Amino acid sequence: MALTGSSSRPPLPAGASNTKAPHDWVDQFLLAGPDDEECLHFGTPVDRRTLRALVAEQAARLTAAGLSAGGTAALRLAPSLGYTAALLACWQLGAQAVLLDHRLTDHEVALAVQRLAPQVLVESAHRSSGTALRGFAETDPEPRALPGGRPAATGHALLQLSSGSTGPAKVIARTAADLLRELDCYRRLEAFPKAGERVVLLSSVVHVLGLVGGLLNSLHAHVPLTVPERMTAAGILAAVGQDDRPTTVIGVPFHAELLAAATAPPPLPQLRRMIVAGELVRPGVPAAFTARYGVPLGTMYGMTELGVIATDLDGSLHPQAAPVHGTVLREDGGELHIAMAGSPYPGLTDPTRWSDGWLHTRDAGRVDPATGLVTVLGRRDSQVSIGGLKVDLTEVEQTLAALPRVREAVVVFADGAIEAYLTTDRTSAPDADPDTDQAAGQAADQAAVREALARELAAYKRPRRLSFLPALPRTATGKLVRDITALHEAAAGSL
């Protein structure tokens, strides 16, 4: 692909992840720019002069709490200007930042702190009383020294926890050079937002897509980033419409479904595309989104361990995607492996996850030997055996999700049987009265789903158990939860 981007951006270090990043990489690649240049919008616009002052203020607070180069700080902050300033200040000091989702309970945070032993914990001086639908919060980061905290055992700049959609979260580490390499990949994508455009970000800034593809890339590429005040369809569309500059929306498939279902959206001539990542897009959603807004729904494949891996930003390659610059993939026994010089899992020796310079993604997929394009087929653990016959749970799930009455679905394998958890248009309706036509309509929907599955799937592929829920559980990043225990609990709670 041709190199594109603003000439005002400083050149990034050469692409290999083991390249050492400059000690002042935050100032050089993320904070540099004209003082009056707008860079962020959390309710009100923020220019670079203001952001640099806030980062300096947070650096002073962190230093007073005992944080220094080689130290460790855990951030438990809602998406906000305060979170951004505290994170950049940690890195500016040469410390390792551990990101904890602000939606975790106190118990979960205590377990994470016990596991990771940061020297400083940064929380807001006042807990937000906002709802889950708020896009950002007002935060006043307050660092607190923790007894027994340990300095960084490695040179990584960032520790993240995986989404936990399929079970316990993994600790994943990335260096500053890893992050700069990923920013270079985004710079080379012709269809990714460039200077003169803007981004409306829906993804969590604690997790990789929102953090690097959204927040850090916007700062580096001089593309102002807006976080909507409310994560409703109306709130997102209002954020797109508040500025005339060409706009790209970045989120997860759930957000695309939400917008595709919006009733009578306003004209949005500035909307250029939406880009989603995090899980496979449900069949029919790209077409529905394009029909509603007249722009493509682009997709990206990535992992917390590496960031962006492959893209189809115009929707023209579906179901394939093109690997980003410098990424080497191979297909090994139906599983995608990606070249990676070292393991991203600190303190973990597991050859089933990384070995001999290859990251084992545990994603099923194909690599076209002629074009190098990759097709992601779903999780490798979605392939099960029923009576000696192979069944791909992703196929079952996508068949179920494509049915007209189904809004969303998750299919898992438990106790030797296929189970499906789903919502329909009427099971997800609030305050359904069992004595009204609503209940009768729900029963009709359920019967229609069962009949359609009997037509479209062989008997051995059909779920033995169908659980109809008002809503499916999701992770903090909006991914559908596939942990069997959590699904069983959700089903039991809906009875």
Q: Which of 327, 349, 374 is the last residue of a domain?
A: 327
Query: How many other β-carbons are positioned within 10 Å of the β-carbon of residue 350?
Result: 11
> Looking at the domain assignment, is residue 32 inside a domain?
yes
Residue 78: the pLDDT is 92
In the numeric block, which tokens belong to residue 63?
């230093």
Expressed as residue numbers, the domain containing 57 is: 25-169
Q: Which of 397, 477, 484 is nearest to 163 (CA)?
A: 477
Phi and psi for 272 in degrees, rounded to 5?
A: -95, -40
> Looking at the domain assignment, is residue 165 inside a domain?
yes
> Looking at the domain assignment, is residue 363 inside a domain?
no
Residue 479: the pLDDT is 79
Instruction: Based on the fold, state whether residues 467 and 414 are members of the same structural domain.
Output: yes
Q: Which of 268, 295, 49, 241 is nearest to 276 (CA)?
A: 295
Q: Crossing angle, helix 253-260 and helix 233-241, to 10 degrees?
A: 90
Whether residue 236 contacts residue 292, with contact meaning beta carbons closer than 8 Å, is answered with no
Instruction: Based on the fold, state whether residues 228 and 152 are members of the same structural domain.
Output: no
- Is the peptide bond prior to 319 cis by the omega test (within 30 degrees of 0)? yes
Structural domains counted in the chain: 3
> Looking at the domain assignment, is residue 345 inside a domain?
no
What is the distance between the alpha carbons of residues 3 and 446, in angstroms, rounded to a whole number? 52
Residue 12: the pLDDT is 59
Instruction: Based on the fold, state whether residues 130 and 220 are members of the same structural domain.
Output: no
Instruction: Based on the fold, state whether residues 184 and 303 are members of the same structural domain.
Output: yes
CATH of the domain at 442: 3.30.300.30
Q: Which of 169, 189, 223 is the last residue of a domain?
A: 169
Whether residue 363 contacts residue 334, with contact meaning beta carbons closer than 8 Å, is answered with no
Dihedral of CA atoms 119, 142, 61, 113 in degrees, nearest 10, equals 10
Residue 133: the pLDDT is 80
In the numeric block, which tokens belong to residue 480?
């559908």
DSSP letter, residue 134: B
Instruction: Based on the fold, state whether residues 183 and 155 are members of the same structural domain.
Output: no
Instruction: Based on the fold, state whether residues 189 and 304 are members of the same structural domain.
Output: yes
Task: Give every residue of the chain whose pLDDT is below 50, as ranges.
Answer: 1-8, 14-17, 165-167, 430-434
> Looking at the domain assignment, is residue 305 inside a domain?
yes
- The alpha carbon of 42 is separated from its chain's Cα centroid by a whole number of angstroms, namely 19
Residue 427: the pLDDT is 58
CATH of the domain at 200: 3.40.50.12780
Instruction: Based on the fold, state whether residues 392 and 473 are members of the same structural domain.
Output: yes
How big is the CA angle at 430 (ends 429 and 433), to the nearest 5 degrees?
95
Residue 10: the pLDDT is 55
User: Residue 311 in 3-state DSSP?
Assistant: strand
Residue 494: the pLDDT is 76
> Looking at the domain assignment, is residue 145 inside a domain?
yes
> Looking at the domain assignment, is residue 347 inside a domain?
no
CATH of the domain at 141: 3.40.50.980
Give kind and range of the element (H or E) at residue 87: helix 81-92
Residue 307: the pLDDT is 96
Radius of gyration in angstroms for the set of CA atoms belonging to the chain, rounded to a whole number = 23
Q: Which of 424, 412, 426, 403 is nearest to 463 (CA)?
A: 412
Whether residue 69 contacts residue 63, with contact meaning beta carbons closer than 8 Å, is answered with no
- Indicate the pTM of the whole model: 0.81
**Could you please report the per-residue DSSP string of 339-364?**
E-SS-SSTT---TTTEETTEEEEEEE
Instruction: Based on the fold, state whether residues 199 and 155 are members of the same structural domain.
Output: no
Query: How many other β-carbons are positioned within 10 Å of the β-carbon of residue 130?
Result: 14
Instruction: Based on the fold, state whether residues 142 and 86 are members of the same structural domain.
Output: yes
Instruction: Based on the fold, state whether residues 107 and 201 are members of the same structural domain.
Output: no
> Looking at the domain assignment, is residue 16 inside a domain?
no
Whether residue 159 contacts residue 142, with contact meaning beta carbons closer than 8 Å, is answered with no
In the numeric block, which tokens belong to residue 393?
């749970």
Instruction: Based on the fold, state whether residues 187 and 165 are members of the same structural domain.
Output: no
Whether residue 131 contacts residue 174, with contact meaning beta carbons closer than 8 Å, is answered with no
Instruction: Based on the fold, state whether residues 160 and 184 are members of the same structural domain.
Output: no
Question: Number of helices and strands (H, E) in the chain?
Answer: 13, 25
Q: Which of 131, 150, 169 is the last residue of a domain?
A: 169
- The alpha carbon of 96 is separated from its chain's Cα centroid by a whole number of angstroms, namely 21
